[in-house]
Amino acid sequence: MSSWERGIISNYDLKKPRVKIGYVIMCLFIVLLGVTMLYPFLNTLFSSLKTKQEMFTFPVPFFPKEWIWHNYVEAWDTMNLLPYMRNTIIIFVGNMVFSIFFMGLAAYSLSHLKVPYRKWFILFFLSTLLIPTNSYLIPNFLNLQSLGLLNSYWAFWLPAGANAFNLLLLKTFFDGIHKELFEAARVDGASEIRCYLQLAIPLSLPIIATLVILGFSATWNEWYWPSLVITSKEKYPLATVIYRYVIAGGVGGTQIPWNVRFALLASAMLPPVVFFLFMQKYIMRGLNVSGIKG
């Protein structure tokens, strides 16, 4: 049997008219979905290379007549994005440290330790996923304000250490690790912290890579929460600066030309695209392995 026939639809089934029509329709939907996802990115990229006159012609051409690469030089002269990219990376790294350490320890405890009322704890964390995110923005803001943590990166790191989704995702993965490994380590005198750091973490690299990808996407695209808790522009992450000064307004009271705006938007889009192209193989691998039971 060939590798083609091992698929969901075999070569024999494809000879049937109904199956062939259904297969063509599914392929068309996949192509349509791909086009709708690629169009905004390509439109932003091509618009960043147009002249000012092309931006206001009707109908607006999809491809630029001349590729004006100087728009990127003018964009970075208008606004240097590197400090805000650095702020985003600092927030992302802190979020991952808190998520993997604190959420990982909690997930390890619920999975491999005898925690009293463990099922009720799991049900409690699962129920929090049903609460709309916007409903606890104000309570989180008031808590951080009372702690004096506004206008600091702790306003991002502390909430990241209480992410129920990451907790349940890690717990599901830890459930698939054989308990005999930890029992053997305990017999040799290893503490629970050592079991977590030297056994659970190395065996959980696929799901950790998935959390890193999801965390990077969330941090890079988040603009609303930073605009609430950060008051100084120097500490803004990239998405907040893009929204406030590129999309909603200008820099220094001056309006940015539209082709330069698109150049700034394209500059902000390229790093996550490169990151996802490099890390895409870990996404489905981590999610699939997290569903395996021991």
Print pLDDT tens along the chain (294 aa): 444 445 566 676 777 788 788 888 888 999 999 899 889 889 899 988 988 888 888 787 888 888 889 889 998 988 889 999 999 999 999 999 998 888 888 898 888 888 888 889 888 888 888 888 888 888 889 999 999 999 999 999 988 888 888 888 888 888 888 888 888 888 888 888 888 888 888 888 888 888 888 889 899 999 999 989 998 889 999 999 998 888 876 655 567 888 889 999 999 988 888 888 887 776 655 555 544 444
pLDDT at 92: 95
pTM of full prediction above 0.85: no
Please give the span between the terminal C-alpha atoms of the chain, in angstroms, as a whole number.
31
Number of domains present in the structure of the chain: 2
Other C-beta atoms closer than 10 Å to the C-beta of 47 total: 22
Domain holding 20, by residue range, is: 4-73
Shared-domain flag, residues 270 and 148:
yes
Rounded-to-integer distance, Cα 241 and Cα 235, Å = 10
Instruction: Determine, yes or no, domain membership for 294.
Output: no
Residue 189 phi, psi dihedral angles, 5° rounding? 100, 10
Pick from 39, 73, 107: which residue ends a domain? 73
Whether residue 280 contacts residue 272, with contact meaning beta carbons closer than 8 Å, is answered with no
DSSP string, 146-163: HHT-TTSTHHHHHHHTT-
Q: How is residue 106 written in tokens?
A: 């909690």
Pick from 73, 95, 129: which residue ends a domain? 73
Whether residue 195 contacts residue 182, with contact meaning beta carbons closer than 8 Å, is answered with yes
Rounded-to-integer distance, Cα 253 and Cα 250, Å = 6
Rounded-to-integer distance, Cα 84 and Cα 268, Å = 10
Shared-domain flag, residues 58 and 86:
no
Shared-domain flag, residues 53 and 66:
yes
Instruction: Determine, yes or no, domain membership for 222.
Output: yes
Q: How is residue 124 written in tokens?
A: 């409690």
Shared-domain flag, residues 84 and 199:
yes
Rounded-to-integer distance, Cα 43 and Cα 258, Å = 13
Pick from 58, 73, 88: which residue ends a domain? 73
pLDDT at 252: 54
Shared-domain flag, residues 212 and 147:
yes
